[in-house]
Chain A
């Protein structure tokens, strides 16, 4: 064995160590820059509690919308082959590669007061811009693909013969979907929901452009972090950041655990989506 052959694995290890350190150091810094007691006391400030409430309400609402609309859509795409299916799937993936600022301005151009649908909405007495509804729309727009991608993969890996058997036994399409396909795909669906939740929780760019920034109403956790940092309240900003690091890491670990428990379904979808979404979350 030549000396250089032994050096190669060291090179691989070095590259990996550099990247791991590059990710771990900032996350650790969030916790150690300010004493833990200070972080905890900062979490009780009005800005922190307000943002926590807004984030929980809007993220939960948008996740509910994503599940209700995304599950049947993913079932259709995952189990049926039809003309245009690939194009449809691509459309639903577009928000993954769209910069959040673009999402924000696009939502404004469509649903803002003077957007494409602004007049129609106003005639119906609905104004979404700068309201909590706008936050929910922004979160739904950016987080939906994370669920749909995962769900399509999960449904696609459900054995078609099982679905066919369910219909043969007299179950309708709706029953087959709800009582057979969804339970069989549940691991992939849960993982997708967790990823979408994490993405929605972290949304910043589209929210600040489309929904504004009002404490207790539209100011989500990431907006509050930016606001507190701007206002020279570094401990306050770090406290919320620490909270988001903990929740996000928890969600990611949860996803891994769910998927490891059921490698037969969804795992491929997860690796594929994690590859194409890196850098967006």
Chain B
């Protein structure tokens, strides 16, 4: 039997060819949005996931032919991905620590502060553990969920608890941490576990609590215990659209995106 006459074989060759074409086609389609074919990929902290898509659309409007897509995750995960060579154009993290590290490794350009955030304690509306104050976290048997020590929200949470030791006694933070039932890998997961009532309380950013609306009850922190999250953005060194990436970083500091950030509850950039 000749190869030509062997229908199943020819079909499989055709199928493979189709798959390859589809794969290539898919890739080129993704990068050919707009007339000059630029898609900007922004790796951004999970806490920006509600406000950045709108800012991306604003950017695309002011830069015709550009599409912006996002990859949201824990800032530490995004940093690890950039270090492992993931494709991307802009990094926007919730802490200066990671931007500084990427800068030292020459993987990003100069980081620029574009907004700040603060923390708040949230409990489910039904408040199953009866948490009404920060002190309750140490005294009541509450199932607390916080960010892992390696993500910014987790680091800030530990800073806040340490700050509260001054007010509630030196064993306060240790007692509170003993009630932790899960170290979540990003702030969205903390919020979800509180919203769904699986956790009795959790520390999130004020912007997350604001977005959750009546799905959570807020317990504010005293100003002297706050940790200020300083968000920084930087162009990724390996970006295939370096000037566009730089333009996006600058754009974040311009008035209209700043208004959008402020509406979502973010504070002005740190100087």
Q: In the bound complex, what is the Cα–Cα distance between A26 and B4 (angstroms)?
A: 36
Q: Is B3 an interface residue (CB 8 A)?
A: yes
In the complex, which residue of chain B has the Cβ closest to the Cβ of A8? B3
B150 touches A227 (CB 8 A): yes
Interface of chain B, main secondary structure: loop
B150 touches A212 (CB 8 A): no
Q: In the bound complex, what is the Cα–Cα distance between A2 and B199 (angstroms)?
A: 71
Chain A residues near B88 (CB-CB < 8 A) = none
Chain A residues near B181 (CB-CB < 8 A) = 130-131, 212, 214, 217-218
Contact status of A213 and B197, CB under 8 A, knowing A7-B3, A131-B181, A229-B80? no
Partner of A2, one of B2, B74, B76, B180: B2
Interface set, chain B 176-192, CB cutoff 8 A to A: 180-185
Q: In the bound complex, what is the Cα–Cα distance between A215 and B184 (angstroms)?
A: 11
Partner of A230, one of B9, B77, B199: B77
B198 touches A130 (CB 8 A): yes
B3 touches A212 (CB 8 A): no
Interface set, chain B 48-97, CB cutoff 8 A to A: 74, 76-77, 79-80, 83-84
**Chain B nearest CB, measured from A207 CB (Å):** 11
Q: 0/1 per residue, B1-18, Cβ < 8 Å to A?
A: 111100001000000000
Chain B residues near A127 (CB-CB < 8 A) = 143
B79 touches A232 (CB 8 A): yes
Contact status of A213 and B183, CB under 8 A, knowing A130-B143, A232-B80? yes
Q: In the bound complex, what is the Cα–Cα distance between A7 and B4 (angstroms)?
A: 12
Chain A residues near B183 (CB-CB < 8 A) = 212-215, 219, 227
Interface set, chain A 211-235, CB cutoff 8 A to B: 212-215, 217-219, 226-227, 229-232, 234
B198 touches A5 (CB 8 A): no
Chain B residues near A114 (CB-CB < 8 A) = 196-197
Q: In the bound complex, what is the Cα–Cα distance between A108 and B181 (angstroms)?
A: 16
Q: Is A153 an interface residue (CB 8 A)?
A: no
A214 touches B182 (CB 8 A): yes
Contact status of A129 and B198, CB under 8 A, knowing A230-B77, A232-B76? yes
Q: In the bound complex, what is the Cα–Cα distance between A232 and B97 (angstroms)?
A: 13
Q: Is A113 an interface residue (CB 8 A)?
A: yes
Q: In the bound complex, what is the Cα–Cα distance between A280 and B4 (angstroms)?
A: 37
A5 touches B3 (CB 8 A): yes
> Told that A2-B3, A227-B183, A234-B84 touch, could you supply 6 new A-B pairs with CB distance under 8 A?
A5-B3, A113-B197, A114-B197, A130-B143, A214-B180, A230-B76
Query: Which A residues are closer than 8 A to B by beta carbons?
Result: 2, 4-5, 7-8, 108, 112-114, 127, 129-131, 212-215, 217-219, 226-227, 229-232, 234
Q: Can you name 19 A-B pairs with beta carbons within 8 Å?
A: A5-B3, A8-B3, A108-B196, A112-B196, A113-B197, A114-B196, A130-B143, A131-B181, A212-B181, A212-B193, A218-B181, A227-B150, A229-B77, A230-B74, A230-B80, A230-B150, A231-B76, A231-B80, A234-B84
When A and B form their complex, which 4 residue pairs have the shortest distance between CB atoms, in order from nearest?
A212-B182, A231-B150, A4-B3, A230-B77
